[in-house]
Amino acid sequence: MQERSFVLFDRDIVLKADGSMPEFSEFEKIKAENPVLEYFEEKQTGIKVLGLSSVEKLGDAYKTIPLREFFAQNSDNDDIKFQVFRGKSLLNWRVSHNFCHKCGKKLDEHPLLTARICPECKTISFPHIEPCIIVLVTKGDKILLARHAQRNQDIYACIAGFIEAGESAEHAVEREIFEETGIKVKNIQYRGSQSWPFPDQLMLGFTAEWASGDIVLQKEELTDAQWFDRNNCPASPKPGSIAYQLIHGEI
Which tens digits make up the pLDDT trace of 200-211? 999 999 999 999
Give percent of the chain above pLDDT 70: 99
Q: Which residue has the higher pLDDT, 235 or 179?
A: 179
Q: What is the mean pLDDT of the chain?
A: 94
List pLDDT tens digits, range 149-188.
987 668 999 999 999 999 999 999 999 999 999 999 999 9
Residue 42: partners with Cβ closer than 8 Å, 6 or more residues away: 49, 86, 90, 114
Q: Among 185, 194, 79, which Cα is nearest to 132's? A: 194
Contact 227, 142 (CB under 8 A): yes
Give the tens place of pLDDT for each residue, 122-142: 999 999 999 999 999 999 999
Give residue 152's pLDDT.
63
* Identity of residue 67: L
Say whether pLDDT at 218 is over 90. Answer: yes
Of 103, 116, 124, which is closest to residue 40 (Cα–Cα)?
116
Q: What is the reported pLDDT for 236? A: 86
How does pLDDT run across 71-114, given as a tens digit for each residue? 889 988 989 999 999 999 999 999 999 999 999 999 999 999 99
Global pTM exceeds 0.85 = yes
